[in-house]
Structure 1
Amino acid sequence: IGSLNFTKKIKYLKKARCLLFPILWEEPFGLVMVEALACGTPVVAFRRGSVPEIIQDGVNGFVVENVDEMVEAVGKVATISPVKCRESVEKRFSVERMIDEYEDLFKEIAVK
């Protein structure tokens, strides 16, 4: 598709059946996964880097080991609730939660 502005990216993610994330490197944080989940779109991703921390297998997507498993998982994405996808990122990556965690970290540093 090429480069998309934010509005178009969200439009595509909302309409997608799922997001495929077939990375072959140790991705430290896959923002595109969080963006897809926030749109209610399940993610099917290789077990690399941060994928197991973000994707709850069978809840907000599927974590797979290879292309064959990815193909199989795509056939099961209809079993994933868009509401559960969105909730999974709201609970873990909301601005409020991040602020709370930063405050806790700063308090811990201040005590030392």
Structure 2
Amino acid sequence: MHIAQVAPLTEAVPPKLYGGTERVVHWLTEELVALGHDVTLFASGDSRTSGTLEPMWPKALRLDGSIRDPNALHMMMLERVRQRAAEFDFLHFHLDYYPFSLFSRQPTPFVTTLHGR
């Protein structure tokens, strides 16, 4: 399967220190690749993966003092995923409720993991 993993941009995947969600995304992505799946990780550019990295911003937003509104960058990332959605068999979001309204209207199956709830 060709799977998209869509991570928060707050921390790198895997995180260097804090970042429970990003750590889970890393473990899941690496295991899916090990099982033979073609995985694309949408994340910050300082992320590392055995799959294909689709960098959405050069580094984790927490480390970039120039960012005033991280929501805008997450919306831009969702738009990029939407544009490429037909390339994937499955989309897995780790972005809270953000994807629901946009992705419920397109045919690619998706799931959202609500971390920390």
Q: Give TM-score, length-normalised by structure 1.
A: 0.33
Q: Which has the higher contact order (CA 8 A, sep 6+)?
A: 2
The structure richer in helix per residue is 1
Q: Give TM-score, length-normalised by structure 2.
A: 0.32
Bigger Rg over Cα: 1
